């Protein structure tokens, strides 16, 4: 079932240069998206999910900057650097210019849907106008054709009487309807990839159900891939094919959705699943993750989760974890081999061969004394 | 969003309170400049009364006069030329015929112009502050109550305020002058008139902030906790609605000075022999052919003072805006 | 250690609060002129009756617009009820003036949803916690200070945080401050309005655990509002499900989750995505939108979306109860079998919502009818009178007269139903001695009937 890879992100780093310091919002993130699949990015606020996805479309603004990494969409280089003699990184020749991004990528190849539909729709223009505008910008249609296409898209996403509602304004729609409009706008451009940034967080659960159904239908019909950003594990379980779990600017675990839930490897993912209440059974005790997510300005040294991890050992403060395959890793050596089911990976030294098990456990779970990056001689 | 949430122990600077605001202002050059001008004007206003013998330059050849009790009598008899020999309408030092005795010249009674300008600062600043203070207090009280309670209270109060708004300041001043003192103009009535005329604007400003502040959860929390309305308004509503009022007040002081200068020009403010910039302008206007310089100095003084307040007000607005960080 | 009001000594498990026939209406347009014009009221809460027992956590769940927040705020007299009574430890709060209620607020506190707007940014956290105590003249300044510091520790913060300002805390910590403030007067009941909805998942767990611990420590009663059924399943003892201003179902938590009786409850539970990719069972989807609260459906408000709408004729309905235009079609009993009935209602609603298009169908009534047959009635199509009505509708649709078609269908099939005629309210005796309230005519024949 191996589909072609359409988007590849490798070692993405996006930093924000603020007065308080450099916020390392995304600090080395790698994942890919294949045809016809829904890839989830899950994590709490501050993990960097939204920054990662807006980086893909190069929508990061001052004081933020993409400082490293490769992002390739099919054969287009969205982000690419080359190292100069003095060690600095400069954008590669092949990297698309802003104009090229606008013309070639944004909207017509990769579209994005944001969380709050009221914020994303201009309140002074009718809904039909906005959808038509999108279509005109990104496809070879204009005038009456574009309008008809807009009406068709609105019907497609389940807006009743789209011809009549074409001239209605955003505030005349309910939240769920507005979100459908946004989906119509995104879809109307027939993109290959849609980035959905928490699109159902602000919606009621029954409306959310309708939207999820709609998305699944559209995916089947048009073959669109999705990157779905959320903090809701229920949604992840429901629609994602593969999942990336993010914590403080890094991906700590990635793999097929079943593996993430039923063969959880990383302690953060594990604790996350243990700390959420369930609708399908009564949990007698929630076991929250101790402490709070540290600041991204001075993240903890080595493994960023060590300040809150119940399994942390001294080695976790010294060795920078790298991705190791934890899927059916046939020979158990942590390396990816041809033919092995190596889609499930985690960045935790427990599964690596760097001396975790010989190390002494760290005391005091919770807001431990944070080991700063670059600290200590 | 990759912002840093408040993490205890960061030792951050407080984001609230006057300390923070002051720090922000300190970092804004324009606002600082405005503040300096205000500081100079205010100290001139205060100190020009304290020491009668500051220096010959400033207070030489000064006549006496009183207004109430807070303007002392000043006399420097040694420097007064004998009656009949007063040098009137002297030009400033850089023009022909001027001298360093009177750097800006003298007025129609031989009084040193520079001294009068400096002394005029006192009247202007006092008027500016008091009139604005009056407007602010009245406006905040009315606006906060109207905004908080809404309903008919709001309707009644706002209509009342609109009535005041429709009456020009001058008319109010005249009304006070005529009906309270029987036709004797005095700077007090100017203060009252301008102050009351400013109430509507302040009340509108704070009312609009109050309308959004009262929807905040912490207000509802206070109500749910059983805090009385009066305390809610005092402790929650007003402190959180005050910023735009403060900004407007600094600007309004400038306006007030200007308005009262205008009133004095018309004869309704400070009365001679009290030096007041507007009144000095009035007189200078008629003497253009004798001594054209006389009209410039009061105008410059008014300009500088108002500019100072405006610059500071702008800076204060930025300082109080939580989105802008200096 | 209880509040300043006279200790009526309500024992745990006894009724603490009785809400009886309570309604809260808002004017949809504010202002003097609107009320003259008779602008429609928003019936945010409509004739609601239930009890709250001491020491329990009663959850109010529902989606946006269901009225749960309004209900809770009206109980706490932050809004005055339009109708009905609320008895708190024996006293009817609706009889009291605002002034008389103020001292009672010591016993009724609130925790708000938004950690950012629920704390005055200009006050220190210690002052915020003390304010309710101060408002009720509890202790002296030193005593209040001490208690505030103790409360800070109870919620998992430090006494030294007394001097900090809200912006120095994270969302979860601010909610803890909110809790400390609510507990400061040692209240009997605390209303929590979505206290963890704005928090991150892991922080949510922390705060919920703190809330549980405090409840054990202080013996307080929680009225817990939420839209998140998972959270409710964790904290609640009893659950009240609300829909458009009515209570649809009220039951013990386990009973409700394991065996939901009201179709809306069932639909709600079915909609929730389960955090388990292997979970079997289709996630159900509820179609349509919530109707407007200014013009809610008659009878059972869920009837416009209910998958289990009862056929007309199944139960006796009097002429008076029917809407005028339905009266003619009434008292008819079509006796359709279930599958056919479901198809008919599905069709009626689809026309009402205009969720399909006849673009590609010929304009003739026959072609339309054939299309409808295929799309809506495959398998079970009605005969006799119902078929005639559908033919009429097809004819109207062929002429693009959608509204008329919708009206015709509705007055024939939906309005004569008991679900549209009479508001349901039934109290069932469960085998475990616990009562269960269900507002659904499907349970009309079960045990006690207290419909009005």
The ipTM estimated for the assembled molecules is 0.80
Is 50 exceeded by the pLDDT of residue B58?
no
Name the maximum alpha-carbon separation found in chain A. Answer: 71
Residue found by looking up tokens 């205890």 in the block: B8
**What are the two backbone dihedrals, phi and then psi, of residue A253, each rounded to the nearest 5 degrees?**
-155, 140
Residue C140 at interface with chain A, using a CB cutoff of 8 Å: no
Q: Which residues pair with A38 in a beta bridge?
A: A226
For residues A104 and C49, which has the higher predicted lDDT (pLDDT)?
Answer: C49
Question: How many residues appear in chain B?
Answer: 326
**Domain B24-51+120-320 coded CATH 1.10.3720.10:** yes
Is omega for the bond preceding A259 within 30 degrees of 0, making it cis? no
Q: Determine the residue of chain C that is closest to A288 in CA distance.
A: C205
- pLDDT above 90 coverage of chain B, percent: 17
> Which of B2, B5, B325 is the closest to A16 by Cβ?
B2
Residue B4: list chain A partners with CB under 8 A. 20, 23, 295-297
Distance from CA of A104 to the nearest CA of C (A): 35
Is 60 exceeded by the pLDDT of residue C5?
no
Is 70 exceeded by the pLDDT of residue A84?
yes
> What is the C-alpha to C-alpha distance for residues B254 and B302, in angstroms, rounded to an integer?
9
Is 50 exceeded by the pLDDT of residue B76?
no
Is 50 exceeded by the pLDDT of residue B82?
no
The reported pLDDT for the residue numbered A141 is 80
The reported pLDDT for the residue numbered B251 is 85
Give all strands of the β-sheet with A225-230 in edge-to-edge order.
A110-113, A193-197, A225-230, A38-42, A242-247, A250-256, A345-346, A324-325
Which among B45-49, C232-236, C323-327, C333-337 has the top mean pLDDT? Answer: C232-236
**What are the two backbone dihedrals, phi and then psi, of residue A45, each rounded to the nearest 5 degrees?**
-70, 140
Residue A19: list chain B partners with CB under 8 A. 325
Residue C323 at interface with chain A, using a CB cutoff of 8 Å: no
For residues C239 and C15, which has the higher predicted lDDT (pLDDT)?
Answer: C239
In a mutational test of the B interface, the residue from A13, A15, A18, A198 whose CB has the highest number of chain B CBs within 10 Å is A18
**CB crowding A268-288: b at 16 or more within 10 Å, else e:** bbbbbbbbbbbbbeeeeebeb
Task: Give yes or no for a contact between C14 and C54, defined as CB atoms under 8 angstroms apart.
Answer: yes
Average pLDDT over residues B302-320: 84
Is 90 exceeded by the pLDDT of residue C433?
no
Residue B9 at interface with chain C, using a CB cutoff of 8 Å: no
Nearest to C224 by CA among C206, C238, C210, C245: C238
> What is the C-alpha to C-alpha distance for residues B212 and C9, in angstroms, rounded to an integer?
41
B78-87, B286-295, C149-158, C367-376, range with the lowest pLDDT: B78-87
CB contact under 8 A, A19 and B1: no
Q: Where are the domains of chain C?
A: 15-29+39-243, 311-416
CB contact under 8 A, C110 and B220: yes
The reported pLDDT for the residue numbered B69 is 29
Residue B243's Cα: distance from chain center in Å?
18
The secondary structure of chain A in percent helix, strand, coil, rounded to multiples of 5, reads 30, 25, 45
CB contact under 8 A, B8 and C165: no
CB contact under 8 A, B8 and C132: no
In a mutational test of the C interface, the residue from B225, B233, B246 whose CB has the highest number of chain C CBs within 10 Å is B225
**Three-state SS at A368:** coil
3-state secondary structure labels for all residues of chain C: CCCCCCCCCCCCCCEEEEEEEEEEEEECCCCHHHHHHCCCEEEEEEEEEEEEECCCEEEEECCCCCCHHHHHHHHCCCCCCCEEEEEECCEEHHHCCHHHHHHHHHHEEEECCCCCCCCCCCCCHHHHHHHHHHHCCCCCHHHHHHHHHHHHHHCCCCHHHHHCCHHHCCHHHHHHHHHHHHHCCCCCEEEEECCCCCCCHHHHHHHHHHHHHHHHHHCCEEEEEECCHHHHHHHCCEEEEEECCEEEEEEEHHHHHHCCCCHHHHHHHHHCCCCCCCCCCCCCCCCCCCCCCCCCCCCCHHHHCCCCCCCCCCCCCCHHHCCHHHCCCCCCCCCCCHHHHHHHHHHHHHHHHCCCCCCCCCCCHHHHHHHHHHHHCCCCCCCCHHHHHHHHHHHHHHCCCHHHHHHHHHHHHHCCCHHHHCCCCEEEECCCCCEEEECCHHHCCCCEECCC
> What is the C-alpha to C-alpha distance for residues C254 and C232, in angstroms, rounded to an integer?
11
Distance from CA of C3 to the nearest CA of B (A): 13
**Domain C15-29+39-243 coded CATH 3.40.50.300:** yes
Model pLDDT for residues C288-299, shown as the tens digit of each residue: 778 888 888 888
For residues A291 and C17, which has the higher predicted lDDT (pLDDT)?
Answer: C17
> What is the C-alpha to C-alpha distance for residues B29 and B182, in angstroms, rounded to an integer?
49
> What is the C-alpha to C-alpha distance for residues A135 and A155, in angstroms, rounded to an integer?
15
Task: Give yes or no for a contact between C121 and B17, defined as CB atoms under 8 angstroms apart.
Answer: no
10 Å CB burial of residue B148 (0-12, 13-18, 19+) is buried
C10-14, C318-322, C338-342, range with the lowest pLDDT: C318-322
Distance from CA of A88 to the nearest CA of B (A): 25
Model pLDDT for residues C323-333, shown as the tens digit of each residue: 555 555 555 67
Give all strands of the β-sheet with A76-79 in edge-to-edge order.
A21-34, A5-18, A64-73, A76-79
Handedness of CA C91, C94, C95, C97 (dihedral sign): positive
> What is the C-alpha to C-alpha distance for residues C166 and C178, in angstroms, rounded to an integer?
10
The reported pLDDT for the residue numbered C377 is 83
**How many other C-beta atoms can be found within 10 angstroms of the C-beta atom of residue C271?**
22
Distance from CA of B15 to the nearest CA of C (A): 8
Residue C169: list chain B partners with CB under 8 A. 6, 8
> What is the C-alpha to C-alpha distance for residues B74 and B83, in angstroms, rounded to an integer?
17
Token pair for residue C385?
A: 């009178």
Residue C168: list chain B partners with CB under 8 A. 6, 8, 10, 12
The reported pLDDT for the residue numbered B77 is 43
Is 80 exceeded by the pLDDT of residue B96?
no
Is 90 exceeded by the pLDDT of residue B162?
yes
Give all strands of the β-sheet with C91-92 in edge-to-edge order.
C41-53, C15-27, C83-88, C91-92
The reported pLDDT for the residue numbered B266 is 76
Q: Where are the domains of chain A?
A: 265-377
**What are the two backbone dihedrals, phi and then psi, of residue A79, each rounded to the nearest 5 degrees?**
-135, 130
Is 90 exceeded by the pLDDT of residue A46?
no
| Chains touching B (3+ CB pairs < 8 Å) | A, C
**Three-state SS at B46:** helix
**Pairing verdict, β A242-247 and A250-256:** antiparallel
Average pLDDT over residues C138-159: 91
Average pLDDT over residues C355-377: 82
Model pLDDT for residues A145-194, shown as the tens digit of each residue: 888 888 888 888 888 878 888 998 888 888 788 888 888 888 877 889 99
Which positions ≥6 away from B169 have C-beta within 8 Å?
Answer: B193, B194, B197, B259, B263
> What is the C-alpha to C-alpha distance for residues A34 and B65, in angstroms, rounded to an integer?
91
Residue C283: list chain A partners with CB under 8 A. 209, 212, 238
Task: Give yes or no for a contact between B162 and B225, defined as CB atoms under 8 angstroms apart.
Answer: no
pLDDT band for B94, please (50, 70, 90 cuts).
low
Residue found by looking up tokens 């913060």 in the block: C157
Q: What is the DSSP string of A265-317?
A: -SHHHHHHHHTS--SSS--S---PPSS-PPPSSSPBSSSTTTTT-TT-BGGGG
Distance from CA of B244 to the nearest CA of C (A): 16
> What is the C-alpha to C-alpha distance for residues A179 and A198, in angstroms, rounded to an integer?
11
């Amino acid at each position: 079932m191996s589909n072609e890879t359409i988007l590849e992100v490798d070692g993405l780093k996006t930093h924000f240069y603020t007065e308080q310091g450099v916020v390392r919002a995304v600090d080395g993130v790698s994942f890919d998206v294949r045809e016809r699949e829904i890839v989830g990015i899950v994590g709490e606020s501050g993990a960097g999910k939204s920054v990662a996805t807006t980086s893909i479309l190069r929508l990061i603004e001052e004081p933020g900057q993409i400082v490293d990494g490769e992002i390739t969409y099919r054969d287009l280089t969205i982000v690419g650097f080359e190292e100069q003699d003095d060690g600095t990184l400069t954008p590669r020749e092949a990297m698309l210019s802003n104009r090229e991004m606008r013309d070639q990528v944004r909207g017509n190849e990769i579209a994005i849907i944001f969380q709050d539909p009221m914020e994303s729709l201009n309140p002074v223009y009718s809904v039909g106008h906005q959808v038509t505008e999108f279509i005109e910008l990104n496809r070879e249609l204009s005038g009456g054709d574009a309008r008809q296409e807009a009406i068709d898209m609105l019907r497609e996403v389940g807006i009743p009487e789209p011809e009549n509602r074409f001239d209605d304004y955003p505030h005349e729609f309910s939240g769920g309807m507005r979100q459908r409009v946004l989906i119509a706008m995104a879809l109307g451009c027939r993109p290959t990839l849609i980035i959905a940034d928490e699109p159902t967080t602000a919606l009621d659960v029954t409306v959310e159900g309708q939207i999820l159904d709609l998305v699944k239908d559209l995916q089947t019909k048009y073959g669109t891939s999705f990157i779905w950003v959320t903090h809701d594990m229920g949604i992840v379980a429901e629609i994602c094919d593969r999942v990336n779990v993010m914590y403080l600017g890094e991906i700590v675990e990635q793999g097929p959705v079943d593996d993430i839930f039923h063969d959880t490897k990383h302690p953060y993912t594990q604790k996350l699943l243990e700390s959420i209440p369930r609708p399908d059974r009564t949990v007698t005790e929630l076991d929250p993750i101790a402490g709070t997510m540290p600041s991204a300005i001075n993240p903890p040294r080595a493994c960023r989760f060590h300040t809150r991890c119940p399994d942390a050992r001294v080695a976790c403060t010294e060795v920078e974890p790298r991705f190791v395959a934890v899927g059916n890793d046939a020979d158990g050596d942590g390396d990816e081999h041809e033919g092995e089911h190596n889609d499930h990976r985690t960045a935790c030294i427990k599964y690596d061969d760097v001396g975790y098990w010989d190390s002494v456990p760290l005391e005091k779970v919770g807001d431990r004394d944070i080991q700063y990056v670059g600290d200590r001689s | 969003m990759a912002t840093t949430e408040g993490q205890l122990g960061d030792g951050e600077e407080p984001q609230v309170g006057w300390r923070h605001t002051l720090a922000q202002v300190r970092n804004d050059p324009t606002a600082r400049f405005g503040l300096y001008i205000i500081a100079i004007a205010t100290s001139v206003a205060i100190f020009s009364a304290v020491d009668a013998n500051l220096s010959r330059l400033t207070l030489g050849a000064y006549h006496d006069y009183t207004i109430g009790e807070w303007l002392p009598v000043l006399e420097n008899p040694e420097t007064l030329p004998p009656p009949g020999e007063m040098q009137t309408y002297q030009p400033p030092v850089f023009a022909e015929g001027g001298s360093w005795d009177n750097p800006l010249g003298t007025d129609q009674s031989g009084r040193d112009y520079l001294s009068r300008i400096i002394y005029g600062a006192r009247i202007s600043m006092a008027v500016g502050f008091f009139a604005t203070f009056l407007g602010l207090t009245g406006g905040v009280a009315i606006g906060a109550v109207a905004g908080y309670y809404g309903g008919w209270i709001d309707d009644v109060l706002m209509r009342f305020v609109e009535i005041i708004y429709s009456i020009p300041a001058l008319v109010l001043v005249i009304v006070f002058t005529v009906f309270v003192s029987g036709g004797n103009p005095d700077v007090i009535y100017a203060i009252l008139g301008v102050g009351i005329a400013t109430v509507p604007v302040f009340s509108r400003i704070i009312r609009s902030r109050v309308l959004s502040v009262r929807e905040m959860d912490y207000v509802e929390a206070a109500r749910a906790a059983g805090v009385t309305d009066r305390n809610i308004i005092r402790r929650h509503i007003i402190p959180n609605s005050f910023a735009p009022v403060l900004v407007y007040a600094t600007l309004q002081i400038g306006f007030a000075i200007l308005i009262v200068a205008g009133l004095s020009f018309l004869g309704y403010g400070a009365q001679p022999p009290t030096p007041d910039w507007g009144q000095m302008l009035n007189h200078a206007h008629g003497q253009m052919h004798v001594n054209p310089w006389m009209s410039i100095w009061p105008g410059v003084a008014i300009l500088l003072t108002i500019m100072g307040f405006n610059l500071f007000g702008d800076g204060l607005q930025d300082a109080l805006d939580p989105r802008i960080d200096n | 250690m209880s509040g300043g009001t006279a200790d009526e000594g309500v024992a745990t498990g006894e009724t603490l609060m009785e809400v009886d026939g309570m309604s809260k209406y808002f004017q949809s347009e504010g202002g003097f002129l609107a009320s003259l014009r008779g602008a429609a009221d928003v019936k945010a809460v409509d004739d609601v009756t239930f009890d709250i027992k001491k020491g329990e956590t009663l959850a109010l769940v529902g989606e946006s617009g269901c009225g749960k927040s309004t209900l809770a705020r009206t109980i706490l007299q932050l809004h005055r009820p339009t109708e009905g009574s609320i008895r708190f430890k024996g006293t009817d709060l609706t009889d009291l003036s605002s002034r008389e209620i103020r001292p009672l607020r010591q016993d009724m506190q609130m925790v708000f949803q938004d950690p950012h707007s629920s704390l005055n940014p200009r006050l220190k956290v210690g002052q915020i916690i003390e304010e309710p105590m101060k408002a009720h003249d509890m202790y002296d300044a030193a005593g209040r200070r001490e208690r505030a510091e103790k409360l800070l520790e109870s919620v998992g913060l430090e006494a030294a945080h007394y001097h900090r300002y809200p912006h120095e805390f994270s969302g979860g910590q601010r909610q803890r401050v909110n809790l400390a403030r609510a507990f400061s007067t040692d209240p009997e009941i605390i209303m929590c309005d979505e206290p963890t909805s704005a928090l991150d998942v892991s922080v949510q767990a922390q705060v919920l655990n703190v809330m549980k611990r405090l409840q054990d420590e202080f013996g307080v009663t929680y009225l817990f509002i939420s839209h998140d059924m998972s959270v409710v399943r964790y904290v609640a003892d009893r659950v009240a499900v609300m829909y458009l201003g009515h209570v649809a179902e009220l039951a013990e938590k386990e009973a409700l989750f394991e065996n939901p009786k009201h179709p809306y409850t069932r639909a709600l539970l079915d909609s929730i995505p389960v955090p388990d990719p292997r979970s079997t069972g289709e996630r159900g989807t509820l179609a349509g939108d919530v109707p407007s609260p200014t013009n809610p459906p008659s009878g059972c408000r869920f009837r416009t979306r209910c998958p289990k709408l009862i056929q007309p004729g199944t139960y006796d309905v009097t002429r008076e109860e029917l809407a005028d235009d339905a009266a003619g079609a009434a008292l008819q009993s079509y006796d359709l079998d279930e599958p056919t009935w479901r198809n008919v209602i599905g069709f009626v609603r689809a026309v009402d919502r205009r969720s399909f298009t006849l673009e590609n169908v010929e304009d003739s009534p026959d072609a339309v009818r054939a299309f409808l047959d295929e799309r809506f009635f495959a398998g079970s199509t009605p005969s006799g009178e119902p078929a005639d009505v559908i033919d009429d509708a097809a004819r109207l649709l062929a002429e693009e007269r959608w509204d008329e078609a919708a009206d015709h269908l509705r007055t024939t099939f939906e309005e004569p139903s008991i679900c549209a005629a009479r508001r349901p309210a039934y109290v069932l005796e469960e085998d475990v001695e616990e009562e269960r309230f269900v507002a659904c005519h499907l349970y009309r024949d079960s045990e006690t009937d207290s419909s009005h």
